[in-house]
Amino acid sequence: MRQLLAALAAGTLFGFGLGLAQMIDPAKVVNFLDLFGHWDPSLAFVMGGGLLVNALLTPLILRQKRPLLADFFRLPSKTEIDRRLVVGSILFGIGWGLAGYCPGPMLTSLSFADADIITIVLAYGVGTFAARWALARRGG
């Protein structure tokens, strides 16, 4: 129960932060990615601020024996840089550049209850399911 409340609190803070940073405005995201036109550097400050705070806190947190409400930390264990990582990330970037939505701002924008948002979230869900299904069949 307490883990569920912690997840809700973290999600709420995350969503509010995305709003405050205006990362939920796809036009602002695309302007950030438009290095060769009208460039809006703001989102570099979003990523910089997020990275700075998280990079300061993460080593302190991982120095604890275990998380506050769980038995152990679950961190990604893979270290190999493979083709899957590169190809997947490039595909993701194409989709991000096309519409200005990465997963966090996309899901946060469901708060606008807009037909366009619902369209892209559904497509995102289908893509996520299809890829997970295909990867599971391959045993990946």
Residues 37-96 that bind other proteins (CB under 8 A): 37-55, 57-58, 61-62, 64, 66-76, 78-81, 84-96
Q: Which is nearer to other proteins, 122 or 139 (CB)?
A: 122
Asked if 62 and 73 count as a contact pair (C-beta separation under 8 A), the reply is yes
- What DSSP string runs through 62-117? HTSSS-SSSSS----------HHHHHHHHHHHHHHHHHS--HHHHHHGGGG--HHH
106 scored as a contact of other proteins (CB under 8 A): yes
Task: Say how far apart CA 133 and CA 137 lie, in whole Å.
Answer: 6
Minimal distance, residue 58 CB to other proteins, in Å:
5
Minimal distance, residue 139 CB to other proteins, in Å:
14
Q: Which residues 11-30 are close enough to bind other proteins by CB under 8 A?
A: 11-28, 30
Neighbour count for residue 106 (Cβ, 10 Å): 20
Minimal distance, residue 97 CB to other proteins, in Å:
3
How many residues belong to the site for other proteins (CB under 8 A)? Answer: 120
Q: Which is nearer to other proteins, 64 or 139 (CB)?
A: 64
Query: How many residues are listed for the chain in this entry?
Result: 140
The tokens of 104 are what?
């966090």
Task: Say how far apart CA 132 and CA 116 lie, in whole Å.
Answer: 24
102 scored as a contact of other proteins (CB under 8 A): yes
139 scored as a contact of other proteins (CB under 8 A): no
